[in-house]
Amino acid sequence: MRHSSANINANGSTLNASQMNSEWQAAGQLSTNRPLFTPMQVLFFTCMVIFSVFVVGQPAVGQTNDEAANEKTPLVRFHAWGGSAQVNGYLQWVAEQVKTRFNIELQHVKLADTSDAVSRVLAEKAAGNHKNGSVDLIWINGENFAAMKKHDLLSTSWVGELDNFSLTNPDQNPAVTTDFGEPTLGMEAPWGKASMVFYYRSLHLNTLGLMAPKTIEELLRFSQKSPGRFTYPVPSDYLGISFIKYAALALNKDKLSLFYQPSNDKSLNAVLPSLWTYLDALHPTMWQQGKHLLRQASQLQRLVGTGELSMAFSFTASEIPSAVTRFDLPDDVRTYVMQDGSLANVHFVGLTYNSKNKAAAKTVVNFLLSPQAQAKKQKVEVWGDDTVLDIESLSAPDQALFVESNTHPSALDKSQATILLAEPHSSWTDALREAWYERYGARY
């Protein structure tokens, strides 16, 4: 607490030296023919001020120096999806690292839905809270980024300040500077890459005498030959809408350019007929005859684990071997990618416009982009999230961090070439979801 040289009267107002003279004279306490303070009094008051400053600067009674230092430690609140044990464990490791390296306190605010954090920042802006926001960093991409960009909820042009951003080779890698077709404009930093994978029970398929389907058309034939062994979540779930986008892209290879422009009635009418024909045929063959769809992506893995489904899909390849290791999935599960393309995207970390700890937040993101943090994240036993760094541009010691010696039998074979289908323009997410609910929503 800072001390003021002014004195306070009973009314709480300050008194200067002349006012003090007048009041003390009136009280008979001060003679008009001598100075206000003697040299000894001045020396005494000076010593008292120095002593008080010294005392205030010390830790409180019962408080250690480390505890006092922690009061000045910047707090960075990272709002990120909390539905994965692998992601949560990795962010706990990150928090330990930035605390040790930079004395920054990183708090993982676990979200069920990223839009909750977006809505919070929007509400703070509407309330005029422009400098003391409750969200510092946010894990986003796609429609959530588009919404934050539209409403000016993110800091701009800060990513280029990060030393490690250059390791992504952004000039030659447009995927790290565009998000679902939207230029990022330095509002968010790339963090990792993900693509859709499918996984199946090999014992089930051997018993059924079937091969794992390798294209969207083969998936329909597989489901027709083995009714009830496949399903997908409703498109309000991120994995559900991802399946719809994959199907729309794979069924309209001659119209792919339409998906990378803002959607409109004309483009929707061009691609929806083939999608409806496909889904109309698929739904009756699905789990529970397609009369009930799952509400959450996590339920897919549970149904494969219990044997009700023979195959499913995920946007996190590493979660499959991890689930086998935890005995959530049986050890006959195998992971692969479709030959007609794998829906893929880069996910990002945004810095809110009203964060009060922007410098510390940037330090955290720069660490997330370091070879050490990216290599740790890519390990299958940690998270398995692919790095956004350009490996060839790294030094030999840093490249060595990404070499994995052991592979799990249920893990995706990354040596196989994969056709990646970039995420459509963000406007397609809502357009396809709304069209799906208009056609099928009354049933669910």
**DSSP codes joined into one string, 155-216:** --S-GGG-GGGGGG-GGG-GGGTEETTEE-TTSEEEEEEEE-EEEEEHHHHHHHT-PPP-SH
Note the pLDDT tens digit of each residue in 257-297: 999 999 999 999 999 999 999 999 999 999 999 999 999 88
* 254 pLDDT above the threshold of 90: yes
* 22 pLDDT above the threshold of 50: no
Q: How many CB atoms lie within 10 A of CB 225?
A: 13
- What's the pLDDT score for residue 3? 35
Cα(286)–Cα(289) distance, integer angstroms: 5
Cα(126)–Cα(351) distance, integer angstroms: 18
DSSP 391: G
**Pick from 290, 283, 386: nearest CA to 337:** 386
**Pick from 194, 257, 242, 266: nearest CA to 429:** 242
* 242 pLDDT above the threshold of 90: yes
Average pLDDT for 292-306 = 93
Helix, strand, coil percentages in the chain from 3-state DSSP, rounded to 5: 50, 15, 40
- What's the pLDDT score for residue 23? 36
* 14 pLDDT above the threshold of 70: no
| Three-state DSSP class for residue 430 | helix
Q: What is the DSSP string of 27-62?
A: TT---TTS-SS-HHHHHHHHHHHHHHHHHHTSPPTT
- What's the pLDDT score for residue 7? 33
| Three-state DSSP class for residue 309 | coil
- What's the pLDDT score for residue 222? 98
Average pLDDT for 66-92 = 83
Q: Which of 137-151, 200-214, 413-427 has the lowest mean pLDDT?
A: 413-427
- What's the pLDDT score for residue 444? 64
**Pick from 3, 77, 87: nearest CA to 45:** 3
* Average pLDDT of every residue of the chain: 85
CA distance readout (Å), 311 to 23, 219, 228 = 90, 10, 10
Cα(232)–Cα(440) distance, integer angstroms: 14
Strands 7-8 and 14-15, by their bridges, are antiparallel
Residue pair 108/91 in contact (Cβ under 8 Å)? The answer is yes
Q: Whole-model pTM?
A: 0.70
* 319 pLDDT above the threshold of 80: yes
